[in-house]
Structure 1
Amino acid sequence: MTYRFQIFKKKQATCENAVNLREFSNISDANRSMIRSFLIGFLLLFSFSSYGQYSIKGKVTDAETGDPIAFANVILTGTTVGITTDFDGSFFIESKVIADSIKVSYLGYVTQSKALSKESTQTINFQLRPTAFELGTFVFEAGENPAFEIIRRASAKRKVFDKRELIAYETKNYTKIELDVDNLSESFMRRKSVQSVTSVLDSIRQLTNDEGEKILPVFFSETVSKFYYRNNPELRKEIIEKTKVTGVGITDGSTTSQITGSVFQEYNFYKNWLRILEKDFISPIADGWKTYYDYDLLDSVLVGQDTCYKLQVYPRREQDLAFTGTIWIKKDDYALKQVDLTIPKAANLNFVERIKIQQELAPTVEGPLLPSKTRVLIKIGQISESTAGLLAKFYTATDSAIINQPKPTAFFNQAVELKPDFSQYPADFWTSTRPELLSEEELAVLQMVDTLKKIPIVRFYSEGLKFFATGYLPIRKVDFGPWTEFGNYNNVEGFRFGFGLRSNYKFSNKWLLEGYGAYGLVDQRWKYKAAVTRILDRKRWTTLQVRTSRELDQVGLEMENLEGNSVFLAASRFGTLRRPFVSTNQRLTFQREFFKGFLLTSGLNVAQFDPLYNFYYREKDTQELRSNFQTTELRAGIRYGRDEVIIINDNVRASLGSNKWPIVELNYAQGIQSLGGQISYTKLNFYLYQRLTMGIFGVGRYELDAGKVWGEVPYPVLKNHLGNETLFYTTAAFNTMNFNEFASDQFISLRYRQSFEGFLLNSIPLIKKLKWRMVGSANVLMGSVRDENIQNVPAFDPFGNSLTSFGRLDPTKPYLELGYGVENVFRFFRVDFFHRMSYLDNPGAKPFHVKVSAQIIL
């Protein structure tokens, strides 16, 4: 392809031969009459021509999604009269030139033409169908691509225009979200549950015309918010002022409203990597742009008042997590003006057929750019032919920017805040607030969602899905669950059945009552938990909790750390329990968030250890053998996540992870011989977790865990390192270590996992079609046990039976395991190969392990 660089200048008509009125008055009457007749004839001709002018308006949308296609080329066939669609896909053409048809084209879509009538005013809408993007279409000749210098200069100015360079900014945002079920296959439509809503599905035709695809809308929201950003330290906050949420299965909008604002819809192309759906995508103007992208300089065009270079971008390897599409870069300062980019279906993603981002940017008074409009479309494909797909649409409009007036750090304590009257507004509020009116399709979506959520069968399935995902079924002021407590089976309890409930936000926003009861048919023991939590302050999260429980536990598993993961907790109680014991606890806990990300926890815990396996330890003072013991601990801990995003889910906090900085925890426990305690000791534990974006090498994650126990204690009080003798891979354990193989009273461990995404495998011709991804891991542990904690475990119980003991780490010899593998096998499976590098002489140790796991990842 030969590079062409064309600049089209806007022509301005001038009137250089205007009639001089003074000269006109000096000519003869005959000539004057002739000229007057000429002018009158000219005016009549001009009037006739004006009358013959006609106008065409319309909208260009995606046939599969109904989403507007911005910046598409619209031209009258056989003429040079044309225009591009605006951000909302609309166009308006006025012309005196007569044409038979009008044509619309855009990169990544099939070009479409429609016939024109003879009417002076016409409305012509287009629905374009996406077409596959073929990398082989573009071939470059020798010599540097002229687009490279433009990209080079735009990349060099990233810091100049990056909004993160501002000291602070705040904006008023309007956000609109729509979720639709699409790809409604015939097999899906034939289901009994679907046929019961056939009459509703038939009315979907009003959302599309004969050229479009049928969709079933299930969620629609509108949100007006204030967004605040502060640099150094980098903090964000969104205050939801007003929100309207309607959706299938949505019974309480308070939690949903916290994630429908713009804080989760931020797309900054001046960052090297954009995180979308927990995947990192390389920006077209990133530092390493030449490694990932090729470019084609298409034109120089006028966008608003700015002359811009129009460039086509596309990935060098179609499997890379990179964009294809068009970007516009201003000619005078090389700032981004607007983008229209897509992640193609060939990218190494699961289930995601398309991600499309359109964005317009506007300069601030200080120079950096803020997005004025952003539209995002995410299309999730069918998992199987008998299922449907999902379509998510996001739109954000930003205005009223205030620059460099930073709020105090304390203002950002809560990442997302709801105003007390966020769901109350006058009838005409949204009509007067929206940047633009809802389209006919969106009004139909609202009507459809309101209709669907009232249908009993739809409510049944939506509530059932939510029950499975959250574990709880809300019924008025009480939530029943979790369902994982309803039934289980293991070698100690036999069949176990139970029942639980908790109060919800409708009951009170200051009190949380929760509990469950369970019974085992074999051991004939009742297990239970009952807790009362008083929420003292929701803004600076402050709670006081009293709790009592009696439950089965296993040495080394520490089930209290698994309470946030009900599925894994249930799985740990299934099958064969190793070194089980009955744990009885009474606990008092106080929590307070003193400033953004800094949470302090303190309390008192009284616990009783009653083993269900052959266990004895030698009591320190009397040297008697005891099989059970009681501890009383004074506890204190701090947790700090500098940029961790926290939302309030009813009456509990939920973490959505951190963006850049690590999450740090430090916990202290002091065992005292009072209030029933029989052992004196001190425990200190440090934990650090961070997710690392590593560019071409994918994403890394590490966990650093270190601890120490002072005092002579039974080994269940020590750190019993979690092993994994099963066939299944888990990130929570050492995957080549046996159960209860090692215990330590001082230790440090580093666990590292690397997801290489498409690194290397995307370049192998046959393998890249499979979309496999390499993974790797390295786990290392150093630890030791003092002699007194070894000696307090006797070799035999009082009856002469051999006792179960524990392994001892050599403080000079690390435990090391290395792993590698492939994920995304048949889209659902992962296979890991682990090599145990040390302690190979231990009983039962195996040098090589194969682990498998099932996962749903994008």
Structure 2
Amino acid sequence: MIKKLFFCSFTCLVIIKIDGQLKLTGKITDFDSQKTITGAVLNNKQNTAISDNNGFFELNVQDSTGVITVQKRDYRLQKIAYDLHADSLLPIVLHRAVNTANKYIEGVIINTKKKYKNKKENPAYAILKAVWKRHYKNAFDTYDNYKYSEYQKLEASLNNLDSSFINKKIFKGMEFMFKNVDTAFSTGKAFVPIYMNEQLSTYYKVNRPFSKEKKVLIAEKASGFEDYQFMVQTIQNLYKDFNIYDNQLNFFDKGFTSPLSTEGFGVYDYTLMQDNIIDGEACYTIKYIPRSNAVFAFRGVIFISKEAFAVKKITLNSPKNIDVNFIRGVNAELTYHIIDDKSFRPEKSQIMVDMSLLNKKANAKGLYVNRIVSYKDFEVNKPEIAKEIETKTQREDQHIYTKDEAFWNHQRHEPLTPKDSLTYQNLNRLWQLPKFKTAVKLVEAIGSGFYNIGNAVDVGNLYSLYGHNDIEGDRLRLGARTFFSRNDMWRLEGYGAYGFRDQKFKFGIGGRYMLDKYKRFTLGYRFKRDLQQLAVDPMGEMNSSVGTGRSFASSSIANTGNNFYLSNIVENNIYASVEPFLNFQVTLDGSYREIKAADPRRFNINYISRVGVEKSQANDARASLVLTYRPGAQFAEYGVDRNMIKRLFPTFTLRYTKGISGVFKSDFNYDRIQFSYVQPVLIGSIGQSNINIEGGKTFGTVPLSLMNVLPGNQSYISIPNTFSQLDYYEFVTDAYSNLFWEHHFNGWVFNRIPLLKKLKLREIVFFRGAWGSLRSDNIDVSRSNIVYKAPKDHIYYEYGFGIENIGFSNFRMFRADFNWRGNYLDHPEARKFGIKVGLQLGF
């Protein structure tokens, strides 16, 4: 009965008029087996559609009656008459072809069966080769400057709903939402929108003489999870910018081979189909499917202009069993405007992602996340654009959120459907229900680690409540921060921690205030009194955040060897930062620290002062200048806190620190320079490499507590950018350079092994190396009870491999690393081999 009900609700949606077109919907089956047919191509000269995994299709037609053509390899070409007044759901039955020889239709060869000896025999090869020869580039890269209007509509919907689910008691009071239920033609299952967002922006870009860009938000209309960082960021991270002509397309930070790749014939089978007309332009039509399910690839149709040999339109559909966590499928349709025989610009893109949080079974409850982006009102090579990019702000005032319907009706690139309008009304009602807000808060807390109270305060981080070390024994920690919205211009935060062995209370407080949101001019202050493992995070000084975050080593749960190398830190810090150019941040900070060993009997950091007296407490006053550059970075917020949208951009950081003796009893006068370069690199279908290069040098005499210590890791947990087989303080330096390289194959190897493929495990390899030196004057000033060594004669290195994506169903968040120490094996208690475990939640 339920199946019949869904079928009837599906057929009621066959005729929908959008942008002056009618929609013809139906299902394609095999005459002999009665099984549904996937990948059949339907066209009516103006438009084309492809039947999905369940045989359903949806084709835009101009008239209520007419004829369409249906093609599928191994089947007869058929012309089908339709009448929308008579056919609610058009059934199409295809017959197997008796003769599988090549067929000629209007001068275009359509091959239905033949296997080519080599790619050059395939008629699609000559067409794609002509495309490759032209080296098409995005026209935007050729202009001195340009601007355009961009419209984005983002919608998230619960999918795979059924009557038993809708009628659950938990939805009591929300019945009005299910009056807006729609039915996906691809599955025949119901879905209901729970989030909508529209943005209208003007994008500016200057390419020469120096590259500058700015996106100015003109208007935004939203209803849903706007003030929930984890949820919004998750949706934002679903979508990446890419050029269809590139050999690899970035989806979910995994390299999918583009059907336009010059290596495409090694990944795809191409079939030349009947010509089509797209937006009045005659196009070759090439259908493509992946040769193997073990690679990241798509299936779909490419429409290539017969005159310009450029892509006019392309569809990208992921295979059924896509090996990406939480993702059941991706469907994209991209349209381009061809400018000349060497350049193009994007016109419109629509990408729909089918997500499932619990498991990836076809009938599991999940989310459709659909994004439509369109572009218009282009202006290029105008002197005033360069001026506007300097004067226009990235965010205007609050009026951008209060534009009336008259504005939106005039400015939208395409009108809302009646169901979209109803969605806004329903979502406004939904967010008035207390139990719905509570449910959303719980989901947000699981993802972010913070639970919001009264729309004013976040409590957390819930994942760092408990820790253990040799000084404090069991340790409890809880923090809180003000949080009124994702875009707060100020934030106060603090935490408290208690150790049951030392019976001492530790705490930290801090605050930040953004005075200018356009240049991001921000002032901040923090105070902290806590235990800290200085040896685990020497590059922590590269960060200028005044956040009161935890020290991992002092809050770890289990360690190998001793973990009493902790220091008591009392620190005051004040800082100011500004962003004079996009993604370029300048920070000035000053701090004063008092550092003492937490357990002097087992570990001390004593030193000889300038007057020749041995001291156990180091007083350090310093000022720093930090330059940070993130070309290509994008952010989900614009307030004092911002979460970066995950992109493959580099991060450059340069820090100069001046130690000032005589200020607040400081004993040390020194200069230090540090540099960091972080770069994720997508290497085709082989996976992604993460590269981190660090270096630094200290000029002047300093004791152990102010030296650079190679970051060891004695816990059983994987910590990024640390040496897994080094003990704390095993190598001490005043000049150093580190390299951390890690490559994620994303199943590139395991997916080719039948028994391992079913486990969906993914492989990692890594290498870590370090060089450092230590001057005699720094050794002489220290009176610590540890032995000083630096990896000067030989570069210290580690290597190993890991297995990630360990878990069950969709909860594959664990990884295990197998680490080998490469040298310095003669050190006392040197750990030659070790296993670390960790969490790595992602796609």
> What TM-score, normalized to structure 2?
0.80
Give the aligned partner of residue 478 of structure 1.
Answer: 456
Say whether 1:170 aligns with 2:147: yes
- Contact persistence 2:624–2:655 (CA under 8 A): no
- Contact persistence 1:56–1:94 (CA under 8 A): no
Q: CA deviation at 1:197?
A: 5.9
Secondary structure at the residue paired with 2:447? helix
Q: CA deviation at 1:631?
A: 0.9
The partner residue of 2:62 within 92, 99, 108 is 92
Counterpart mapping for 1:710-721 below 5 A = 710-721=699-710
Q: Deviations over 1:367-394 (max 9, x none)?
A: 6222222110111235337973222101
Unaligned runs of at least 5 residues, structure 2: 1-19, 29-37, 51-56, 93-111
- Contact persistence 1:317–1:762 (CA under 8 A): no
**Alpha-carbon distance in 2 for matches of 1:95, 1:777:** 62
**Alpha-carbon distance in 2 for matches of 1:62, 1:587:** 66
Secondary structure at the residue paired with 1:431? helix
Counterpart mapping for 1:573-588 below 5 A = 573-575=555-557, 578-588=564-574
Q: CA deviation at 1:675?
A: 2.6
**Alpha-carbon distance in 2 for matches of 1:305, 1:561:** 56
The partner residue of 2:159 within 170, 182, 190 is 182
Give the aligned partner of residue 230 of structure 1.
Answer: 206
The partner residue of 2:284 within 305, 309, 315 is 309
Give the aligned partner of residue 856 of structure 1.
Answer: 841
The partner residue of 1:836 within 816, 821, 826 is 821
Say whether 1:548 aligns with 2:527: yes
Q: CA deviation at 1:348?
A: 3.3
- Contact persistence 2:150–2:374 (CA under 8 A): yes
Q: CA deviation at 1:654?
A: 3.5
**Alpha-carbon distance in 1 for matches of 2:325, 2:548:** 26
The partner residue of 2:130 within 149, 153, 157 is 153
Q: Deviations over 1:804-840 (max 9, x none)?
A: x144124121101111233334544433322211101
Q: CA deviation at 1:330?
A: 0.7
Give the aligned partner of residue 58 of structure 1.
Answer: 23
The partner residue of 2:442 within 454, 461, 464 is 464
Of 219-228 and 540-549, the range deviating more from structure 2: 540-549
**Alpha-carbon distance in 2 for matches of 1:518, 1:215:** 46
- Which amino acid in structure 2 is aligned with residue 554 of structure 1? Q
CA distance 1:773–1:494, change in 2 (3 Å) = closer
Q: CA deviation at 1:476?
A: 5.8
Of 724-733 and 766-775, the range deviating more from structure 2: 766-775
- Which amino acid in structure 2 is aligned with residue 395 of structure 1? I
**Alpha-carbon distance in 1 for matches of 2:395, 2:486:** 21
Q: CA deviation at 1:355?
A: 1.1
CA distance 1:160–1:794, change in 2 (3 Å) = closer
Say whether 1:73 aligns with 2:38: no
**Alpha-carbon distance in 2 for matches of 1:480, 1:581:** 29
- Contact persistence 1:834–1:850 (CA under 8 A): yes
Counterpart mapping for 1:442-521 below 5 A = 442-475=420-453, 478-484=456-462, 487-491=465-469, 492-493=471-472, 496=475, 500-504=479-483, 511-521=490-500
Of 688-697 and 653-662, the range deviating more from structure 2: 653-662
Say whether 1:778 aligns with 2:767: yes
The partner residue of 2:514 within 528, 535, 538 is 535
Unaligned runs of at least 5 residues, structure 1: 1-54, 64-68, 76-80, 129-136, 796-802
Q: CA deviation at 1:224?
A: 1.3
CA distance 1:415–1:687, change in 2 (3 Å) = farther
- Contact persistence 1:531–1:545 (CA under 8 A): yes
Of 375-384 and 642-651, the range deviating more from structure 2: 642-651
- Contact persistence 2:46–2:276 (CA under 8 A): no
Q: Deviations over 1:521-577 (max 9, x none)?
A: 553434333334332321112122233222221231346778799887467424475
CA distance 1:508–1:353, change in 2 (3 Å) = closer
Q: Deviations over 1:331-380 (max 9, x none)?
A: 11201110111121334322322111101111347962222221101112
Secondary structure at the residue paired with 1:749? strand
CA distance 1:365–1:237, change in 2 (3 Å) = farther
- Contact persistence 2:271–2:287 (CA under 8 A): yes
- Contact persistence 2:228–2:486 (CA under 8 A): no
**Alpha-carbon distance in 1 for matches of 2:797, 2:700:** 28
Counterpart mapping for 1:677-716 below 5 A = 677-716=666-705
Give the aligned partner of residue 11 of structure 1.
Answer: none
Counterpart mapping for 1:671-820 below 5 A = 671-794=660-783, 803=785, 805-820=786-801
CA distance 1:436–1:568, change in 2 (3 Å) = same
Secondary structure at the residue paired with 1:355? strand
> What TM-score, normalized to structure 1?
0.79
Q: CA deviation at 1:711?
A: 2.6
**Alpha-carbon distance in 2 for matches of 1:540, 1:422:** 19
Say whether 1:363 aligns with 2:348: no
- Contact persistence 1:319–1:347 (CA under 8 A): no
Secondary structure at the residue paired with 1:93? coil
Give the aligned partner of residue 300 of structure 1.
Answer: 275
**Alpha-carbon distance in 2 for matches of 1:333, 1:476:** 59
- Which amino acid in structure 2 is aligned with residue 335 of structure 1? A
- Which amino acid in structure 2 is aligned with residue 411 of structure 1? I
Q: CA deviation at 1:402?
A: 1.4
Greater C-alpha Rg:
1
**Alpha-carbon distance in 1 for matches of 2:379, 2:392:** 21
- Contact persistence 2:351–2:371 (CA under 8 A): yes
Give the aligned partner of residue 650 of structure 1.
Answer: 639
Counterpart mapping for 1:35-54 below 5 A = none
CA distance 1:260–1:199, change in 2 (3 Å) = closer
Equivalent pairs: percent with the same residue? 22
- Which amino acid in structure 1 is aligned with residue 818 of structure 2? F
- Which amino acid in structure 2 is aligned with residue 835 of structure 1? W
Counterpart mapping for 1:105-504 below 5 A = 121=85, 124=88, 140-143=115-118, 144-160=121-137, 163-184=140-161, 194=170, 196=172, 199=175, 203=179, 205=181, 212-232=188-208, 233-247=210-224, 249-251=225-227, 266-364=241-339, 368-384=343-359, 388-405=365-382, 407-408=385-386, 411=389, 417-475=395-453, 478-484=456-462, 487-491=465-469, 492-493=471-472, 496=475, 500-504=479-483
CA-atom RMSD in angstroms: 4.2
The partner residue of 1:557 within 536, 539, 551 is 536
Secondary structure at the residue paired with 2:375? strand
Q: Deviations over 1:92-114 (max 9, x none)?
A: 335589xxxx9988999xx9999
- Contact persistence 1:329–1:337 (CA under 8 A): yes
- Contact persistence 1:493–1:521 (CA under 8 A): yes
Q: CA deviation at 1:424?
A: 1.4
Q: Deviations over 1:70-126 (max 9, x none)?
A: 996267xxxxx99646999532335589xxxx9988999xx9999978xx9567467
- Contact persistence 1:309–1:328 (CA under 8 A): yes
Secondary structure at the residue paired with 2:536? coil
CA distance 1:815–1:377, change in 2 (3 Å) = same
- Contact persistence 1:744–1:785 (CA under 8 A): yes
CA distance 1:231–1:198, change in 2 (3 Å) = same
Secondary structure at the residue paired with 2:441? helix
Give the aligned partner of residue 588 of structure 2.
Answer: 602
**Alpha-carbon distance in 2 for matches of 1:566, 1:586:** 12
**Alpha-carbon distance in 2 for matches of 1:691, 1:601:** 24
Secondary structure at the residue paired with 2:352? strand
**Alpha-carbon distance in 2 for matches of 1:302, 1:508:** 46
